[in-house]
Amino acid sequence: MVFVTLQVIAVMFAIFAWSRVIFRFKDHKMNISALFLWSAVWVGVIVAVLMPETSRTLSLVLGISRPVDVLVYGSIVMLFYMVFRLYILVEGIGHDTPRLVRAIAVLNPRKAKR
């Protein structure tokens, strides 16, 4: 198999990104479910780049005419999932912030400057 420059760059980037995922997990900045999710994403990218026939096979199984469409649809679904997770996180922070501010205000009572 002859590697095209774009394939080499894509695989190197995916390996670099995957290493960042592993380092963030080792630094306890990422939980195990995020590790598995991002590992699956980057391994999937590597497989799709090195073995493009897998996307052809997947497109035939799913009944999608073009193999690239499988990757695009999968990427869109992944992005929607990540936006949903971020939305839930932001909503949780929005609900927790007033309680935290009240708790700090009770612990540190000071007269307001007028």
Please say if the pLDDT value at position 46 is more than 70. yes
Domain-by-domain residue ranges, the chain?
5-107
Average pLDDT of the chain? 89
| Cβ(48)–Cβ(68) below 8 Å | no
Q: Are 54 and 45 in contact (CB under 8 A)?
A: no
Is 90 exceeded by the pLDDT of residue 13?
A: yes
Q: How far apart are CA 72 and CA 2, in angstroms?
A: 25
Quote the pLDDT of residue 110: 75
CA distances from 111 to 24, 53, 102, 106, 108 (A): 43, 70, 15, 12, 10
The predicted-structure confidence for 60-113, as pLDDT tens digits, reads as follows 999 998 888 888 898 999 899 989 999 999 999 999 999 998 888 888 877 656
